[in-house]
Structure 1
Amino acid sequence: MASNRTAPATGALDPQGLLAAHESIANELAAQGDWRRAYEHLRSALELARSGQLQCAHPHIPEQYRLEVERLRRERAQARHESLTDALTATYNRRYLDRRLAELTAPSVALVDLDLFKHINDRFGHRVGDQVLQRVVGLLQETLPPDAFCARYGGEEFVLVTPGVRPEEAVTLAARARARVAEFPWSHVRPGLSVTVSIGVAPFRRDPGRRHDPQEQLVEADVMLYAAKGAGRNLVAHRQHGQVRFVPTLRARTTRPCP
């Protein structure tokens, strides 16, 4: 029995018409921001142009389409980069953070919060506040291991993700980041300005009986962050043997029961 399905519109086109159809569809999709599908159509057009089915009257078409495919590939890569990057600080955003945490198998996380950031904005203005956020990101990223990264969690909060490091190393990295921010000559940015951060660290700890949950780890880092804030700010807090410990060590308050 003959099929009642209608053949695709491009089925009756000769190679030249098919090429034009791919080009037209690609341009329309690119105008809509659908880079993936536009790229596929231009790639098909390029393969067709290289197949030898076209008339010799169009000797420059292969190069033309190669350039178009490269342009679309760059635009697609740029659009993807922008979708995963925070516009102000040029670090990764929450979308990238959530995606990467779901992929990683042994990440340690540190939640970083600028101390009294509202006071900085109120006293020095939001322009200086933006400069502070940008500079802090640079300081947090210094000397991170090759696979580690920083992401903006929201507002003045950032997350440092360090895959595959030992718990004590995760704490050390966070402590060094805190010290770099505190010791930076902020008065060069604006006289009278000082900036510190508090950090809560949730190292990865292997538990054979449980599946790793990145959201639970972020909650733990948040609990440690609030411990650092409550203990006086400009501190790193982490859990060790059921106790909350601080870096630098607090005199007479080195440990306390878990919240």
Structure 2
Amino acid sequence: MSKHVPIPPEWQADFLLKQFSLSHRLGYSLSGVVLVFLPIFTILDATLVSYADGELIWKHILFRLPAVILAITFLLLHHKKDPGFWAYPLLLTLNLSIVGMMAAMFVLHYSEQGGHLLYITQGLTLVIITVATATVYGARDLALIYGLPLTAVIAFIVFSGSPFPDNPIHLAFIPAAIGIGVVIATMLYQEHQRTFIASQQLEHSALADALTGLPNRRSMQTDLQAEWSRAKRDEQCFAVLMADLDRFKAVNDQHGHEVGDEVLTILATRFTNTLRGGDRVARWGGEEFLLLIPNATEESAMAVAEKVRRAVAEPPFATSAGNLAVTLSLGVALHRQTESIDEVISRADKALYRAKQEGRNRAVLAGD
């Protein structure tokens, strides 16, 4: 069995939603299996065993009824496309009802000590393994699905006074099936985790800059579009800050690109440590970065720009080539209700160009 891979805390909420989605799919499939195979099993049961009286027939019907009702309920809710969190507890209850059904029939026929007990034992063994494939949280789910019915079976065997079977070897199938079921459920759960983590990592790598770990241009464009739509809807403003390292080419020429990469990495850390919780920053290209400030005014946007500029200028950047003095120029543009995203970025770019012309290491507010 492969090593357990924990879900990082920042992905826990997404994983929970993924598991609820899995509950919908597993419950839908299991409900179909129940409604198809339970009538077949009932026919086989009636064929192999001649019921002596109507009471025994009704007992068998009552044993099957909870699983049928739960399966129909699941299918009805699923077809209503209700996205609620009902699927997981209903799936858990459906699994429990299936194991409970076979456990109840095992108890019913235990005292007979005949061939039908072997038949029911084999059915219980098969069900124990089958429901393991329809669990969402692996062995944690099986603790309930197996625990309640099988505890009741053990209690019946111990306290009923029924004689032990003459040939009890087939009873060993049950604990063996439980062990197999736990292994299957655990492996499936771990595979769900690995698949989810791989998907998240792939998505993160598509939206993150490989060097700095910051969101990349593609990711920021999505954020800009969302902020632009929200600002138009709520009639609020946001600010775009274009930031560019001063004389970064000289750093690469004098110290090499590896040191230049160190500078960019340190810069990314200073950005994230300085910005407020709702502010966002992305590597826009090369040594250029774009900062998005929601709910901004000219004063608050310039205050953020100055805070970032000072955080970059002091203290020096500690690199493998020694301490380097690094400064940053910024252009600040406040979004206007009538302009597009490209237009506000263009004004921030022009303000950045002015900051470079006016001596660098400063923030300039965009005009008309």
TM norm structure 1? 0.69
Q: For residue 316 of structure 2, what is the aligned residue in structure 1?
A: 185
Q: For residue 202 of structure 1, what is the aligned residue in structure 2?
A: 333
Instruction: Tell me whether 1:176 sits opposite 2:307 in the alignment.
Output: yes
SS at match of 1:142: helix
Measured against aligned partners, the alpha-carbon deviations of 1:221-254 in whole angstroms (never above 9, x if no partner) come to: 10000000011111111135x5xxxxxxxxxxxx
Name which of 355, 360, 364 aligns with 1:228: 355
SS at match of 1:58: helix
How many Å separate the matches in 2 of 1:192 and 1:68?
Answer: 46
* CA drift at 1:68: 3.3
Q: Retained in 1: the 8 A contact 2:245–2:329? A: yes
* CA drift at 1:165: 1.9
189-198 or 110-119, which moves further after superposition?
189-198
Deviation >4 Å, runs of 4+: 41-45
Distance 1:78 1:69, change over 3 A: same
178-187 or 105-114, which moves further after superposition?
178-187
Q: For residue 157 of structure 1, what is the aligned residue in structure 2?
A: 288
How many Å separate the matches in 1 of 2:319 and 2:283?
Answer: 25
Distance 1:165 1:84, change over 3 A: same
How many Å separate the matches in 2 of 1:42 and 1:173?
Answer: 43
* CA drift at 1:118: 0.9
Q: Retained in 2: the 8 A contact 1:166–1:203? A: yes
The letter for the 2-side match of 1:61 is T
Measured against aligned partners, the alpha-carbon deviations of 1:84-143 in whole angstroms (never above 9, x if no partner) come to: 100100000000111110111232110010111111011111111001001111112223
Q: For residue 47 of structure 1, what is the aligned residue in structure 2?
A: 27
How many Å separate the matches in 1 of 2:320 and 2:310?
Answer: 18
Q: For residue 90 of structure 1, what is the aligned residue in structure 2?
A: 213
How many Å separate the matches in 1 of 2:195 and 2:318?
Answer: 45
Name which of 98, 102, 105 aligns with 2:225: 102
Instruction: Tell me whether 1:60 sits opposite 2:191 in the alignment.
Output: no
The letter for the 2-side match of 1:232 is G
Q: Identify the structure with bigger relative contact order (alpha carbons < 8 Å, sequence gap 6+).
A: 1
Instruction: Tell me whether 1:213 sits opposite 2:324 in the alignment.
Output: no
SS at match of 2:364: strand
Structure with more helix by fraction: 2
How many Å separate the matches in 2 of 1:87 and 1:130?
Answer: 11
How many Å separate the matches in 1 of 2:213 and 2:320?
Answer: 19
**5+ residue gaps in structure 1?**
1-38, 243-259
Structure with more strand by fraction: 1
Q: Retained in 2: the 8 A contact 1:200–1:225? A: yes
State the Cα RMSD in Å.
2.7
The structure having more radius of gyration, on CA atoms, is 2
The letter for the 1-side match of 2:349 is D
Distance 1:187 1:99, change over 3 A: closer
Q: Retained in 2: the 8 A contact 1:46–1:66? A: no
Q: For residue 69 of structure 1, what is the aligned residue in structure 2?
A: 192
Q: For residue 75 of structure 2, what is the aligned residue in structure 1?
A: none
Aligned residues: 200
136-145 or 217-226, which moves further after superposition?
136-145
Q: Retained in 1: the 8 A contact 2:316–2:326? A: no
